Amino acid sequence: MAQSPKAAPTAPADDSKDRHRRILETAARVICEKGYEGAGVQDIAEACGLTKAGLYHHIRSKEHLLVEIMNYGMDVFEEQVLSQVIPIADPVERLQTCMAKNIQLVTHGWSKEVTIILHEHATLTGEARAQINSRKKRYVRFLEDSFAEAIRDGRIRLVNPKVAAFAFLGMVLWIYKWYRPDGSIPADKIAQEMTHLLFDGLVFPERKDGKVAPRRPRGAREKK
């Protein structure tokens, strides 16, 4: 009796995910180099080693590809930054570690997806834009809440948490505009300098016993 032909082996799910991830990373590089409007689907397909039709097997449209890149960038950010700092109990340590890790991510050579989130934020429209903005706002709320907690605990001086959060973001998220991996300032030095610039003016100094120095009420005069 003749044996029935064996079914062709299917690609493991992990291989398919890796392939899709590589497409997103390659597309991100092309878009970073040429801009969203300047990067054609053909350019992206060639960079991925695919035909245009082959690329459309993996994506629905160019805009959908941009949404996927941004979501992938947010996934990377939440995994490498947000999820690692949320468990830190001390709010000042949490914010300082968050700044250092965020700078490390922005300055990382392959982190083009994060750059696209920053540079192409106004390109998306409608539901896609609302979805990405919702994920961004989670980060802003986290920063605001952490600054507010540090104020309540008497760890930093009284500031508006929203202003502090956007000052934090303004420092970190502009780096992609001027940072060069082959430049004179290494990424770890940037993280150290920026952390000092922001927090040295906010955090109350500690006494020799490790406790926070007591604050004078606003308007109170120092005794001579």
Residue 210 has pLDDT above 50, yes or no: no
Residue 16's pLDDT is what? 81
pLDDT of residue 199: 95
Mean pLDDT of 51-72: 90
Distance CA 215, CA 153 (A): 12
pLDDT tens figures, 7-24: 445 545 567 888 888 999
Task: For 116-169, write each residue's pLDDT tens digit.
Answer: 776 777 788 888 889 888 999 999 999 999 999 999 999 999 999 999 999 999
DSSP secondary structure letter of residue 58: T
Tell me which of 224 and 89 has the higher pLDDT.
89
Q: Is the pTM of this model over 0.75?
A: yes
Determine contact, residues 204/215, Cβ cutoff 8 Å.
yes
Confidence of residue 101 (pLDDT cuts 50, 70, 90): very high
Q: Which long-range contacts (CB under 8 A, 24 or more apart) does 110-114 make?
A: 110/25, 111/73, 111/76, 112/25, 112/28, 112/29, 112/31, 112/32, 113/24, 113/25, 113/28, 113/69, 113/70, 113/72, 113/73, 113/76, 114/73, 114/76, 114/77, 114/176
Distance between CA atoms of 218 and 212, rounded to whole angstroms? 17
Q: Is the pLDDT of residue 100 over 80?
A: yes
Domain 62-199, classified CATH 1.10.357.10, yes or no = yes
Q: Which residues pair with 203 in a beta bridge?
A: 156
- Residue 6 neighbours by CB under 8 Å, 6+ apart: none
Computed over every residue of the chain, the mean pLDDT equals: 83
Q: Would you state the pLDDT for residue 92?
A: 96
Supply the pLDDT for residue 12: 56
Find out whether 144 and 162 touch, Cβ atoms under 8 Å. yes
Sign of CA dihedral 215, 218, 223, 224: positive
80: Cβ–Cβ under 8 A, 6 or more apart, which residues?
101, 105
